[in-house]
């Protein structure tokens, strides 16, 4: 058998050698591409998180509106929505006197967007008042998880000259 194979024509040896070389080249290139392919397809993206950039804001009664920033990290390939609403504390939206305008709605982050702003009007009244505060809260995040802080406190400094 060996003797028979050894007598094979030269072109058989050429074809066999070519096949061996091609197989080796294929194996080497596949091994070198493997880590790169892994890098391009890492573990599935972690769920983006939506939260306030700061947990507290302070504003003068006459310096409104207050602008609150909401962050989405990381950017999502899909739309992300989150609801927001103000909630009375010692500062109230309806009362005598009212201190701010109740604000609620839904933020929509388009794919790739990472920041949104919420604008809340502060009411400049003529009453002498102590420092008061209310909160703004995020809820019902869709396409992202709710991160921390998901609530922030807005403190209003009175600007009347109290007796």
Q: Which residues bind Ca ion (CB under 5 A)?
A: 61, 124-125, 127, 129, 158-160
Q: Collapsing DSSP states into helix, strand and coil, what is residue 57?
A: strand
Nearest residue to 89 (alpha-carbon basis) of 131, 119, 52: 131
Q: Which of 68, 122 has the CB closer to Ca ion?
A: 122
Q: Are 142 and 106 in contact (CB under 8 A)?
A: no
Complex with Ca ion: residue 20 or 128, whichever CB lies closer: 128
Q: Residue 113 or residue 124: which is nearer to Ca ion going by CB?
A: 124
Least Cβ distance, residue 112 to Ca ion (angstroms):
41
Please, what is the minimum distance in Å from the beta carbon of residue 120 to Ca ion?
16
Which residues, including other chains, have CB under 8 Å from residue 78's CB and lie 6 or more apart?
A: 111, 143
Contact 147, 55 (CB under 8 A): no
CB of 109 to Ca ion, least distance (A): 35
């Amino acid at each position: 058998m060996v003797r028979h194979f050894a007598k094979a024509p030269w072109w058989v040896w050429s074809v066999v050698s070519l096949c061996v070389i091609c197989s080796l080249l294929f194996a080497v290139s596949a091994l070198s591409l493997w880590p790169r392919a892994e890098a391009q397809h890492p573990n599935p993206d972690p769920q983006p998180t939506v939260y306030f950039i700061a947990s507290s804001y302070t504003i003068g009664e006459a310096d409104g509106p207050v602008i609150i920033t909401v962050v989405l990290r990381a950017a999502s390939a899909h739309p992300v929505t989150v609801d927001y609403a103000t909630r009375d504390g010692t500062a109230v939206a309806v009362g005598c006197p009212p201190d701010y305008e109740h604000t609620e709605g839904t933020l929509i982050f388009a794919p790739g967007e990472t920041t949104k702003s919420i604008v809340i009007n502060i009411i400049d009244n003529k009453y002498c008042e102590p420092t008061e505060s209310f909160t703004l809260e995020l809820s019902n995040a869709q396409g992202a998880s709710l991160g921390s802080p998901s609530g922030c406190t807005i403190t209003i400094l009175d600007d009347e000259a109290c007796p």
